[in-house]
Amino acid sequence: MRYSYLIKDEQGKEEEYKAMSYKKLLKKLSSNYKDQSVVKISYTNKKNHKLIKFITVKKSSWRVIYICYVYIN
C-alpha cells in the first residue's frame, strides 16, 4: 500500500490502516466504525507534510464530514 494512516477513536484506541488513497481509507472507516463516531486521522502526504484530520463517520453513505483540518509543518 502507498500510505499508512494512524487512526485514533474516541476511546483512545489506535489502529494503523494502509490504503492507496485517502478516499479509499474513508470507505474502510465507514464499515469499521459506528455511526456518528469521531476519529482522528494522522498521516504524511506525498509532499511529506504531516496532516491531522478529525472526522465524523456517517453510515448512510461512505462520505465523511470534516470537523477540523489541521496542517502541521
Q: What percentage of the chain has pLDDT greater than the value 90?
A: 25
Measured distance CA(50)–CA(44) in Å, rounded: 4
Where exactly are the structural domains of the chain? 3-72
Measured distance CA(55)–CA(32) in Å, rounded: 14
Question: Amino acid identity of 64?
Answer: V
> pLDDT-based confidence at 7, cuts 50/70/90?
very high
Inter-residue contact 64 to 26 (CB < 8 Å): yes
The model's pTM is: 0.75
Inter-residue contact 16 to 28 (CB < 8 Å): no
pLDDT in tens, 37-71: 888 999 998 888 888 888 888 765 545 555 555 55
Q: What is the pLDDT at residue 2? A: 86
Measured distance CA(21)–CA(61) in Å, rounded: 18
